[in-house]
Amino acid sequence: MNKVYFASLFVILFIYQELMGQVKIDFVFDANQSPNTYRSSQNPHYWKNNLPFDGYWQQDTHYSIEASIDTFNNELKGTALITYWNNSNDTLDCIYINNQFGKGRIFRTNKCTEIGSNFNNNISFTSIDNNTKINFNKKILPNSFTLFEIEYTGTISSNDNIYKVKNICPRVLPYSYKYGWEISNTPLSDINFPLAAFDIIIFTPKNLKLGGNENKIIFPDISNKGSISYYKWTIHIENKKNYSFVLGKNIIAKKEINNNISIKYISSNNKESDQKTKKTTSNQIHFLSKYFGVLPSKIFISYPQTNDSLNNYYTKKNIEKYLEKIYTISSKEEVVLHTNLVDYIAYSILNNEKSNPEIKEINFLGHKIDLDPKSKLDASNIFFQIDDIIGTNETLNLISNFYKKWRFARPNLHEFESYLNRKYPQIFQNGAINFKSDLGLKN
């Protein structure tokens, strides 16, 4: 932990001086190398450099992590030094973190320490379901930051000697001007964390290779602890929502470059199916990047699509994953608007691809999946209603104009409605659309 801790404190001292107005610094942006440059004015993916409107804010977090994987005891053990910037107008006396790192897997928070320029204080914390509330002795003032350290452990398990971890450490939950702390007990896959920066060291047994969610090759160092040698993996990433990884003896991923995005294809062992997947995904990426812009991570995972019905299903999943890499979707209103958008974009892409129109619904893993959203959602989906009034091309253009303005931020219903009132007042003539009631939300 010493190297990560020292490096982070070195940067924090500069940041502290900057915040106090003594020194103005702005590191040259480099998402793949330390120090952390996520908040740099040169970072094209930082929300402050693409403000949707004056006065908008969201919180920032930097994680410095040292973790180890013990496959003999099936344990992940780590320490995270977390820098949290309070960009709001509120004074905070606590922070909430989410402890999930996989389906049904919860980190145990063992210790919390508040760190200052001349003090290190143990601070109290309370575990509440999947979350932990950390109480600070020193309040976090508006436009300031705090530095704290958590020690945590979690139980891991393997499937055929493959270990999958969805989060490398407990994550700070979203905080917004409208909802405050957005405490959630939903599954990890349904929590949309804001973009953040990570400095990570992972120690693993030497018989296992690490595959992370980064489009770069990482070579491990050899580290000795007593008489035992480990692999030491060092990773620095920015503009990411989380760091997930897989450990196994054989980690293989095929890569292709398309439209500045690296697509990782998971093979279906069927040449014809794999070729179709590549062509379909290529078209989808082109469509999405045209209307929403390219991904900051420049990476996309595509699953095998063996028939038309799964192609349609994975179109929706691809859209969800693509947009979740660009936008933070957390509150109920944001989720409802986002779901409407995904259905509409899926319909547009499938229409564009001229997919099999006869397939309306499939049974996937025991769940019925609607593949023709317009047939059921025409009356309630906001975007289909807009389409009926101004047409498909103009609807796609207004979506693109609005959402590109909100890249790396939190597009919400109120701002979308205000945008439409300014740009397309004809949509609201004669009471044709009532956003909240049409979306099933309370006024």
pLDDT at 9 over 70: no
pLDDT at 254 over 50: no
User: Which of 248, 269, 301 represents a domain boundary (last residue)?
Assistant: 248
Bigger pLDDT: 90 vs 286: 90
pLDDT at 63 over 80: yes
- Whether residues 224 and 278 share a domain: the answer is no
Q: What pTM was computed for the model?
A: 0.76
Confidence of residue 267 (pLDDT cuts 50, 70, 90): low
Q: How many domains would you assign to the chain?
A: 2
pLDDT at 255 over 50: no
pLDDT tens, residue by residue, 386-443: 888 888 899 999 999 999 989 888 888 888 888 888 888 888 776 667 776 666 666 5
- Whether residues 297 and 423 share a domain: the answer is yes
Q: Which residues contact 162 (CB under 8 A, 6 or more apart)?
A: 246, 247, 248
Confidence of residue 12 (pLDDT cuts 50, 70, 90): very low
User: Which of 248, 282, 312 represents a domain boundary (last residue)?
Assistant: 248
- Whether residues 210 and 295 share a domain: the answer is no
- Whether residues 429 and 409 share a domain: the answer is yes
Query: What distance in Å separates the CA atoms of residue 217 and residue 212, rounded to the nearest whole number?
Result: 9
Confidence of residue 193 (pLDDT cuts 50, 70, 90): confident
Looking at residue 442, what is its pLDDT? 62
Looking at residue 364, what is its pLDDT? 40
Confidence of residue 20 (pLDDT cuts 50, 70, 90): very low
Bigger pLDDT: 132 vs 218: 132
> Residue 272 belongs to what domain range?
257-438
pLDDT tens, residue by residue, 354-377: 544 444 544 443 444 455 545 544
Looking at residue 33, what is its pLDDT? 67
Q: Which residues contact 351 (CB under 8 A, 6 or more apart)?
A: none
- Whether residues 307 and 169 share a domain: the answer is no
Report the range of poorest mean pLDDT among 42-46, 251-255, 338-342: 251-255
Bigger pLDDT: 297 vs 278: 278
- Whether residues 295 and 416 share a domain: the answer is yes
- Whether residues 267 and 390 share a domain: the answer is yes
- Whether residues 27 and 151 share a domain: the answer is yes
- Whether residues 116 and 135 share a domain: the answer is yes
